[in-house]
Structure 1
Amino acid sequence: MKLLVRADASVEIGMGHRVRCQALIHAFQALGWQCQFVVDCRYKVFSAPEDCFIGGQPGKASKVEFLSLAKQADLVILDHYDYSADDITQLYQHQKNLLVLDDMNDRGEFPAKWLLNPLQQEYSKLVEFSLTGSRYAILRPAFQHHQDNHKVPEQLLITLGGTDPLALTLPILNTLLASNFPRKNIQVLLGANAKDADQVITCCQDNSIAFAQGLTDVTPLMEQARMAISAAGGTLFELACMGVPTIFAQVADNQTRSLEQHVPLGWCRSLRFDNVAEDIRLQRVELLAAELKRLWLDIEWQQNARKIARSLVDGNGAKRVAETINSYF
């Protein structure tokens, strides 16, 4: 059985679409499927050599080019915000076995065989099977096999996503240092393509702060985290699975719905950075640091937050989705 995954990654798009689709591919491959990413050639730098590239033919748009590829597959997974409801409808006409990954539920009605959203959302009857809620959160295989070691964590994990699109890591670090937060408790995690990574690494080295970049398995660092400061993309579900109380820095509009659903549950807090000017961002970094220092001392809140977070995500979402769809075939 052949599966094509249409997803892109870049500094602007972020790495989250590709990361969660890689987790889905791993789950489908375990069931014997042949899987391949289909990537716009503009984003080749964020791709793999075995990917299929589209958009390179003169006068032929990548979406049109993909339609003919979709016809030849047994299943297509679409994880791409640039596809409107009309685009999805056209794709569905070429390939009925279509799984659409969605977060915002803001594109209007469109048809699909399966719709996956890790949030609780209602979709139209044009979607045949809705896979919604945190039990369908797509995490990498390492989270599926994670076991709590019951140690008391002491680190503050700072991770602003695969690309850190608003370059928030450095100002957050500088603000924490200025506030005398204990540097021995700070662990910085940088994505392989993070903005200002060289400056962040220099800051860490100059201040004896632990850092890592481009890790394929982040679970050991999350195990050591008493709290986290994080972007609110797919990492939100990873941190929930690991039971890490978090202050989320919203760096993209598509993170709105997840924060609207998770912040009221009590295991996390959030501040928004993507819709304000740079000078306002710096003010919000100060607010974030102040909230962190307050919650860092609130052990009772942390204990309750850990229990709530762990109850939400079990790490088996990718396997659950792959088995559900595979049973259809």
Structure 2
Amino acid sequence: MKLLVRADASVEIGMGHRVRCQALIHAFNQFGWQCQFVVDRRYQAFASPEDCFIGGQSEKGFTEKECKVEFLSLAEQADLVILDHYGYSAEDITVLHQHQPNLLVLDDMNDRGDFPAKWLLNPLLQGYSKQIEFPLTGSRYALLRPAFQKLELNQILPQQLLITLGGTDPLTLTLPILNALLASGFPTKDIQVLLGANAKNADQVIGFCHHNSIAVEQGLADVTYLMKQAKMAISAAGGTLFELACMGVPTIFAQVADNQTRSLEQHVPLDWCRSIRFDNVPEEVRQQRIEQLVEVINRCWLDIEWQENARKTARGLVDGDGANRVAKTINSYFAAS
């Protein structure tokens, strides 16, 4: 059985789409599926050589329309297509579904209007039209990497503040947050920085950390051991939100993209996390937000009762088995056909 995954990654797009689709690919591989990413050639620097690249080059450069048209013929040759791409409108998805009815759409915001799909996956509780045959919604379908399955959590209370602003840190928040933490008197020995492999300003952040004796790691394939050591975290609110929930890490989320809005609207009221928004303010206002974030961290760092309740709540939300759950559901459909 052949599975194609249409997803891109870049500094602007982030790495979240690719990471969660990699979790799905790993799960489908266990059922013997042949899986491959289909990637816009513009983003091949963030892809793998094994990926299928689409999109020609004209005098005006690459066009999304070229990619979409080219992908239709590829989709027809597959048994299943997974689409994780905000560049596809409801109309685009409708056309794709006409070429490949066995379509799984990954969604976050539920803001594209109605469109048809065999399956739709959203780790948030959202309502969709009857054009979706099999909706897979809620945190039990959160797509986490294999390392998050069947974890044994530390019995000793962790003591680190984990700072991780996504695969690319698109707003370059890590360094100013570190500066603000140090200015507030937060102990450097309690800070652990985790940078994505493609994080912006990585060299400056690593240099700052070494100069100030702050622990720093970059591009780790398995981040679970750092999350196990985290008493709290400062994090972007993409797919890492569900990873931190699974690990039971109380978190202050820095919202760095609009598509993180719905997840924060659902998770912040559960009181295992807080959030401060950065993506909708001009750069000169971000420093004020950073100082606000550091104030919240310093206050919550001492609130042991809140941390204990937050850990219990978060762990009850995500079990780490979402990718396997999705793959098993869809594979069973094909097995019964």
**Aligned position for 2:55:** 55
Please, which runs of 5 or more residues in structure 2 have no aligned partner? none
Give the residue type in structure 1 aligned to 2:12.
Answer: E
CA distance in 2, matches of 1:148, 1:232: 22
Summarize deviations over 1:131-182 as a string: whole Å, max 9, x none.
0000000000000131112121000000000000000000000000111100
**Aligned position for 2:98:** 93
Percent identical among aligned pairs is: 79
CA distance in 1, matches of 2:255, 2:154: 30
Partner of residue 222 from structure 1, selected from 215, 223, 227: 227
Give the residue type in structure 2 aligned to 1:318.
Answer: A
Give the residue type in structure 2 aligned to 1:135.
Answer: R
CA distance in 2, matches of 1:294, 1:164: 25
CA distance in 2, matches of 1:301, 1:147: 22
CA distance in 1, matches of 2:313, 2:113: 32
Give the residue type in structure 2 aligned to 1:48.
Answer: S
Q: Does structure 1 residue 107 correspond to structure 2 residue 112?
A: yes
**Aligned position for 1:67:** 72
Q: Does structure 1 residue 34 correspond to structure 2 residue 34?
A: yes
**Aligned position for 2:5:** 5
Q: Does structure 1 residue 123 correspond to structure 2 residue 128?
A: yes
SS in 2 for 1:247: strand
1:127-142 to 2 correspondences below 5 Å: 127-142=132-147
Summarize deviations over 1:264-302 as a string: whole Å, max 9, x none.
001000000000011111100000000000000000000
**TM-score in terms of structure 2 length:** 0.97
Q: Does structure 1 residue 46 correspond to structure 2 residue 46?
A: yes
Give the residue type in structure 1 aligned to 2:314.
Answer: A
**Aligned position for 1:206:** 211
Please, which runs of 5 or more residues in structure 1 have no aligned partner? none
**Aligned position for 2:155:** 150
**Aligned position for 1:242:** 247
Q: Does structure 1 residue 288 correspond to structure 2 residue 280?
A: no
1:267-282 to 2 correspondences below 5 Å: 267-282=272-287
CA distance in 2, matches of 1:157, 1:105: 30
**Aligned position for 2:305:** 300
CA distance in 2, matches of 1:288, 1:280: 13
Give the residue type in structure 1 aligned to 2:56.
Answer: G
CA distance in 2, matches of 1:73, 1:276: 43
SS in 2 for 1:301: helix
CA distance in 1, matches of 2:152, 2:100: 39
SS in 1 for 2:127: coil
Give the residue type in structure 2 aligned to 1:68.
Answer: S
Deviation at 1:57, TM superposition (A): 5.7
CA distance in 2, matches of 1:66, 1:124: 25
Give the residue type in structure 2 aligned to 1:251.
Answer: V
CA distance in 2, matches of 1:276, 1:188: 25
Partner of residue 168 from structure 2, selected from 156, 159, 163: 163
Which aligned segments of 4 or more residues in structure 1 are displaced greater than 6 angstroms?
none
**Aligned position for 1:24:** 24
CA distance in 1, matches of 2:149, 2:261: 26
SS in 1 for 2:292: helix
Q: Does structure 1 residue 182 correspond to structure 2 residue 225?
A: no
CA distance in 2, matches of 1:121, 1:170: 35
Give the residue type in structure 1 aligned to 2:185.
Answer: N
CA distance in 2, matches of 1:313, 1:25: 19
CA distance in 2, matches of 1:61, 1:145: 42
CA distance in 1, matches of 2:37, 2:172: 28
**Aligned position for 1:15:** 15
**Greater mean alpha carbon deviation, residues 237-246 or residues 60-69:** 60-69
